[in-house]
Amino acid sequence: MTTPDPGGGLGPGAVESLVAAPPAMSPSTAGGPFDPEAVRRDFPVLHRPVNGRPLVWLDNGATTQKPRQVIEALGAFYGVANSNIHRGAHTMAREATAVFEESRAAVAAFLGAPSPAEIVFTRGTTEAINLVAQSWGRDNLGPGDEILVPALEHHSNIVPWQLIAKERGARVVPVPLLADGRIDVDAYADLLSYRTQLVAISHASNVLGTVPPLREMIALAHRHAARVLVDGAQAVAHFPVDVRELDADFYAFSGHKLFAPTGIGALYGKPELLAAMRPWQGGGNMIDSVDFGETTYAPVPHRFEAGTGHIAGAVGLLSALNWLTALDRDAVTAYEGALLSYAQRALATVPGLELVGAAPDRIAVLTFTLAGFDPATVADWLDRDGIAVRAGHHCAQPALRHFGLDSAARASLALYNTPEEVDALVSSLTSLRQQAG
């Protein structure tokens, strides 16, 4: 960890060293097949016991754990570099501003965005979607306009559109699902019309794991002059994203689902859209000049970042991106796909267990029911064995209702999970069935 210079400054490059990527040939990034055990060594929490058992963290859809590089970067920033950003005349303000804007540039590169000016820092996906709804939506939605939202969406990609639609006289139109949890693309194509102003769609479902044919769906929307917002919260940790290739108009994600801290996320927007959007929140940092007669606003992206943002969160996000992009992302994706297949086969051996959704293109999310057991009871039983899963409606009630369910249990996998942890899950569930007779 970087330590203060006795002379009073950190010295050239010291702030940048807080978030340095791991060496190119560290155990986490060595060539050859992806090695989850090497990666696991970067995560202190994965080595703690829970209820006397080794922790098995299968709640990654809710939040991912943090590697030591991120944890150390946060501690080092607060320990030796803490300062507010922008406009500061002193050394530490300049250093903090530099690393904050370096994080913005890293997010742009991570998403394939042409410029850091197309990246707005937010508290996460939810705030990013609300920003677009309240800023872009207020000026572009009117009576009779439609917002298409697939039934698989997280509530964060439904409720903001309902709120602005009610205010503007527009309406939210659900896009139905097929029996296996895929979006009905034919129905989607039929629903698109001159009334469609926006399509709001997730890059990967948090409850079904479904990865829709996004490029095809975006191209169809653009033929009707509709804009597309993509909720990438569940996607960015599992496979590379290129917003230019997708041709997405907006793309949002949360840091805490990407091995970064909570309370930090980002919104990508095409520059012509961001430039035309009014501020959503007012205050410091987002202004050019304030007068009681007239106030003018800062250029994009700062006009959307009112007040003091989560500066340390941006530092942690930069560290997480450096850590993740040092890995072979294609190897990670292949490993997670193989782990998902293994888990599907293993869970099929548990009597009375049914997986929810069977879309062929999906991330490693396993939502399930166990006959005779409430999902909360299942989660509580697993917790006694140190296995963390989630139970409930997963903030995706329309998707569950498609399968006639109000709640379900969910095991969501990440790159540090292993076949042995899947075996522990299956063993515990089998024991629950046997205990019940």
The DSSP secondary-structure symbol of 380 reads H
CA distance 142 to 152: 25
Preceding omega of 301 cis (within 30 degrees of 0): yes
For residue 372, the SS3 value is coil
Region label for 247, one of left (φ > 0), alpha (ψ between -120 and 50) or beta (otherwise): left
CA distance 73 to 320: 9
CA distance 257 to 253: 8
Strand (E) or helix (H) holding 201: strand 196-202
CA distance 116 to 119: 5
Q: Which residue type sits at 96?
A: A
Strand (E) or helix (H) holding 342: helix 329-347
> Which residue, among 314, 286, 280, has the nearest Cα to 300 in the 3D structure?
286
Residue 45's CB is within 10 A of a number of other CB atoms, namely 13
CA distance 79 to 3: 8
* Residues 41 and 27 sit within 8 Å (Cβ to Cβ): yes
Q: Which pairing describes strands 171-175 and 146-150: parallel, antiparallel, or unpaired?
A: parallel
Q: Which residues are catalytic?
A: 395
Q: Quickly tell me which residue has 């807080």 as its tokens.
A: 18
| Dihedral sign computed on CA atoms, order 399, 404, 405, 410 | negative
> Which residue, among 364, 372, 363, has the nearest Cα to 419 in the 3D structure?
364
